[in-house]
Chains A and B, each alone.
Chain A
Amino acid sequence: MSDATKYISHLELGERDETFLDSNELIINMGPQHPATHGVLRVILKLDGEKVLGTECVIGYLHRGVEKIAENRTYAMFNPYVDRMDYVAAVSNGLGYCEAVEKLLNVEAPPRAKYIRVILAELNRIASHQLWLGTHALDIGAMTPLFYTFRDREEILKIFEKYCGARLTTHAFRIGGCQYETYEGFERDVIKFVDFVTPKIDEYEELLTTNRIWVERTKDVGLISGKDCIALGVTGPVLRASGVKWDIRKAQPYAVYSEMDFEIPVGQNGDTYDRYLVRMAEMRQSLRIIRQAVGKIPEGPIMAKVPKVLKPPVGEIYHSIEAPKGELGYFIVSDGSTQPYRVRVRPPSFVNLQALDLMVRGALVADVIAVIGTLDIVLGEVDR
């Protein structure tokens, strides 16, 4: 198989002819209404018994035309919409968008605002990973972690709610900084949460890391090499679990990540088990970042001087951040008016999902579920 064709889905959906009944090949639809697809994802599977010969993803069931909406809204008005893409990590979406527009306007958020942003973004990363762990484990058959992770994630959502009034679609940031000053006792709440959740992560690991069923279901499942990840544009924990030490927070730091001391966890084998370990380690690193950020948070204004009516000069900008799922980029074209001429979102879930075909080819049907879970996709972001 040549290199180029390796990455292309080889699913040929021919007509059902008479020989169909005689052959061992079977084409089945998984989804769009399937609990393990984490939303409305339809995967067409071509099977030979239990073995997967090829797949094709059918997406777009949740397409709302976010990019079109952006062209018809002002810069500030579009801000809440980005929360609705990756709805389990709304803070990261908002952070990426606000920073991109700030770059385009050539303004910089004040240091205090940047620290608040980092604290909330890292809390959100933990929340996103917890939700991933709970649902992923549930798909594979471990029901208990779901209750553990949802219990602990609730504490993060409570902090969000106290800070900005919303639990999921937070709209926490504004272009130029943050809308709200931290509430009385914010730092205390955050540190309390960090102290509370640190042993809980060990608890999740106790449930799973050496659990024989978990290891059997995840080890050597959904293998992907670092080279294939780069070729397919896969980013985030999936890329790192394949041994590529690359994180935008380190490679091209934004906000105040350059002042933080943390490590990039990497895996070796690029299988589902390593991706699990990488995400667990990432949660611990996030806690480290939060602790530092709370300790260093400076006093000062939380909003830069930005005009009431935002009119960025004519030009284009691409800005990306490390969202919980990978590289989340915004490409914004301004024509000098109050509305963006074009907003392109580079969604990590969409690009990562493309690797599904390569990862499950030759595997068993049950592994498809594990791989969809391990890719950590959110259909709101895939379809936009």
Chain B
Amino acid sequence: MVAKLKGQYGSGLEALSYLGQNYLVADRSLIPEILQILRDEEQFDYCVDVTAVHYPERPKQFEVFWILYSFERNERIRVKTGISDGESLPSSVGLWPTANWLEREVFDMFGIKFDGHPDLKRILLPDGWKGYPLRKDYGIIQQDNEWVQINLGIESGQ
């Protein structure tokens, strides 16, 4: 599978393994095609998780992960790609409906936009909240003071 994908995409795709877990590192531009192929041709029919990691010092600040599983092959694979702040990604809700809430959570926590998502809005935090808590520059006790004061009528939630 890896050899086939590699032959097709060449340098934009790298297949690696760490501690026995396989993962693909792909260019942002290849993501829609690769996810489509993994689902349709390689039977990765279950999207376990979509998540992201923030690396503020890198030019491509965010790494976004798709963790996939195939019932047929009993195998997991991770796909990751790097994107810079403000760049968006194609939504995979069309491929795996479960990505709906998972992508909303990534948007909520990191501010990464997914194009084509049916209803991209905050999921765990209130709609009017400012800031993205899982970014590294967001302090652990930081909060949206304005929101807290207006909506809860208290000086601080801490």
A72 CA / B140 CA spacing, docked (Å): 8
Question: A106-B19, A252-B74 are contacts. A331–B49 as well, Cβ < 8 Å?
Answer: yes
For B, the interface residue count at a CB cutoff of 8 angstroms equals 38
Of the 9-residue stretches A61-69, A160-168, A257-265, which lies at the interface with chain B?
A61-69
A27 CA / B49 CA spacing, docked (Å): 32
A5 CA / B94 CA spacing, docked (Å): 8
Interface presence of B96 (CB below 8 A): yes
Interface presence of A315 (CB below 8 A): yes
A68 CA / B47 CA spacing, docked (Å): 23
Contact partner of A103 (CB less than 8 A), chosen from B19, B78, B100, B134, is: B19
A63→B124 contact, CB < 8 A: yes
For A, the interface residue count at a CB cutoff of 8 angstroms equals 45
A91 CA / B65 CA spacing, docked (Å): 27
How many A-B pairs have beta carbons closer than 8 Å: the answer is: 101
Q: Chain B residues near A104: list those with CB within 8 A.
A: 19
Q: Chain B residues near A251: list those with CB within 8 A.
A: 74
Question: A344-B49, A346-B48 are contacts. A318–B71 as well, Cβ < 8 Å?
Answer: no
- Mostly, the A contact residues are mixed
Interface string of B115-132 (1 = CB under 8 A from A): 000110011111000000
Q: Chain A residues near B94: list those with CB within 8 A.
A: 4
Contact partner of A354 (CB less than 8 A), chosen from B46, B100, B140, is: B100
Question: How close is A226's CB to chain B, nearest CB, in angstroms?
Answer: 10
Interface string of A30-50 (1 = CB under 8 A from B): 000000000000000000000
Q: Chain B residues near A230: list those with CB within 8 A.
A: 45-46, 71
Interface presence of B97 (CB below 8 A): yes
Q: Chain A residues near B140: list those with CB within 8 A.
A: 65, 68-69, 71-72
A184 CA / B155 CA spacing, docked (Å): 53
Known: A5-B118, A252-B74, A316-B23. 19 other contacts (CB 8 A): A4-B97, A7-B97, A8-B119, A60-B123, A60-B124, A68-B133, A68-B134, A69-B140, A104-B19, A231-B96, A233-B46, A233-B48, A233-B102, A252-B76, A318-B67, A327-B48, A331-B65, A346-B48, A351-B98
